[in-house]
Every structure is written in C-alpha cells, then in structure tokens.
Amino acid sequence: LYSSWGATDTLLFSRARGLHRISSTGSAASGVVIPEGPGNFDLPSFLPDGEGFLFANIQTLVPQRGAATIYVGSLGSDERRELMRADSRAVYANGHLLFVRDRTLMAQPFDLKSRKLTGEPVPLAENLWPGSLGMPYFSASQTGVLAFPVRDVPPAQLAWFDRSGRLLSPVGEPGDYSNPRLSPDGKKLA
C-alpha cells in the first residue's frame, strides 16, 4: 500500500486497481483515478497545494527502463496528463520533480501553477540501490532534505560451491540478485 498525505488532510492511496482518497477523519474511501487499460496506478505523491498529485502507471513487475509513466492529476477532476517516463515514482520538492533514470536520481524544474515540466533534468545522485522490485526508493521533504539508499558494494555473483566450500563455477553474470531458490534436485537455481 503506497500513500501520500496532502496538505488538506486527505490521504491518497493505491488499492487493488487505481488510486483512492480518504479524509484523515476517517470518511469512506472513494476512487480518484481508476485505470482504463493495463497497469497499476500506484505510488501517489501530493503536490504542496494538497489538490494536485503525481502518480505512476506501472505496467510491469519486471524491472526495466522507463517502466513507470508519470502523470499529474487533481482531486477535483478526472483528468490526468502524462508528464514523462521514469524508472521510479516522482515527487515534488523545491520547484523540481525528482525521479530516477538508470539508477540516477534526477531533478527537473516543474511549474506548480501550470503543472508542467519547464526545463531539462539534471543528476543529483548516482548508483541508487535498485530496491526489491528493481525500482529505486527515495524520499524528499519540502525543507530540501533527500533520503535514498546507494549501492556501495559490487554486484553479487552467484556461484556453485562444493561441500568443502571450494568454488566450482560462477552462475550467470554479476547483478542484483535476491532470494535465490534451488530446485528440489539441487541442479537448478531460480
């Protein structure tokens, strides 16, 4: 469950299919954006006015470049407008949209009034940790503080070892692996 708490005490969250809103006082949840086609509307982030918000349509669980289409919408309208393609969600901070491309945290000027990108993106930090689904995580406050994990270790290399700990052979290329599982016969790795 991804959510964002807006300046007007409204919570915007993803659930099943689409984005929904609920008042912090506990009113019933109502749909804000329901997808018309494939993909999940996910990863919402309010703009400072508490009415406008950013969200991502992610059409795959397989990490890949440009997997997230970033949109801008408003609580008072069914309209949504595509802003860009990215490798992560987008958040607004200090006149910029922050997002990830190729594991690099980027900042691109964004006009709050027109809700449009107004300049070219610039890199802020490289080598962000790819996260559990290959989509890097980061957070930004309106005070200018950024938080993000970086990868400061070399990529993992899977390998076969014998019972004595002697290396038999590498498996595949070095990469970002997690949760490997051996087949019951011990001959294959997922």
**pLDDT values of the chain reduced to their tens digit, one per residue, 190 residues:** 578 888 888 888 887 677 888 888 877 778 787 666 666 667 899 999 999 999 988 766 655 677 789 999 999 887 889 999 998 889 999 999 999 998 899 999 999 999 999 999 999 998 887 765 567 778 888 777 888 887 666 677 888 888 888 888 888 888 777 667 777 777 777 7
Q: How far apart are CA 13 and CA 20, in angstroms?
A: 5
Q: Look at residue 109 in the predicted model and tell me its pLDDT.
A: 98
Cα 96 to Cα 1, 43, 48: the distances in Å are 25, 17, 12
Cα 38 to Cα 34, 61, 70, 131: the distances in Å are 11, 12, 15, 23
Question: Does residue 110 contact residue 95 with C-beta atoms inside 8 Å?
Answer: yes
Question: Does residue 118 contact residue 111 with C-beta atoms inside 8 Å?
Answer: yes
Q: Look at residue 20 in the predicted model and tell me its pLDDT.
A: 82
Name the residue among 83, 73, 157 with its Cα closest to residue 116.
Answer: 83
